[in-house]
């Protein structure tokens, strides 16, 4: 089991950038696949991106492809989300999540992830 803490959210103008971090506690971080989800007010939590334990397999939602980049540093127990060209529709609470099933092929279902952070607010103004 890992405990996750997100940071780096804030208010940014459309077209700007933010970098989110998710710090994990526990010695087994490198054995987890890691994902980012987001939830806007009144909407369901939606998949954003996922990275395998090794960093070799990465998935993105179509809505963020080409703008967002996920990465991880297993030595620092941290996963990152670089968000560029932000749009007002990116406004949401962003959550990182850990998945013990590193071989999963359907990666967009929040229920499949075992551990969650508390979330960090990202607000993009127009």
pLDDT tens-digit readout, 62-121: 999 999 999 999 999 999 999 999 999 999 999 999 999 888 888 899 999 999 999 999
For 42, the token pair is 């009144």
What pLDDT is attached to residue 84?
98
What pLDDT is attached to residue 109?
92
What pLDDT is attached to residue 27?
75
What pLDDT is attached to residue 92?
98
16-43 pLDDT, tens digit each: 999 999 999 987 888 999 999 999 999 9
What pLDDT is attached to residue 1?
83
Picking from 20, 22, 36, the residue whose alpha carbon sits closest to that of residue 82 is: 20
For 65, the token pair is 């492809």
- Is the distance from CB of 117 to CB of 4 less than 8 angstroms? yes
What pLDDT is attached to residue 122?
98
Rg (CA), the chain: 13
Q: What is the dihedral of CA 63, 57, 119, 22, to 10 degrees?
A: -130
What pLDDT is attached to residue 70?
98
What pLDDT is attached to residue 61?
98
DSSP assignment of 40-100 = -TTS--EEEEEE-SSS--EEE-TTTTTTEEEEEETTTTEEEEEE-S--GGG-EEEEEEEES
Give the phi and the psi of residue 101 in degrees, each rounded to 5. -85, 90
């Amino acid at each position: 089991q890992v405990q996750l803490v997100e940071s780096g959210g804030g208010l940014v103008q459309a077209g700007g950038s933010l970098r989110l971090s998710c710090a994990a506690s526990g010695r087994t971080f490198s054995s987890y696949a890691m994902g980012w989800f987001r939830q806007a007010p009144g909407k369901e939590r939606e998949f954003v991106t996922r990275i395998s334990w090794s960093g070799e397999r990465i998935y993105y939602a179509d809505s963020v492809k080409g703008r967002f980049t996920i990465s991880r540093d297993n030595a620092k127990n941290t996963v990152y989300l670089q968000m560029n060209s932000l749009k007002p529709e990116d406004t949401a609470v962003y959550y990182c999540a850990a998945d013990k099933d590193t071989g999963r092929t359907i990666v967009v279902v929040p229920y499949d992830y075992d551990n969650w952070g508390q979330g960090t607010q990202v607000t993009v103004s127009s």
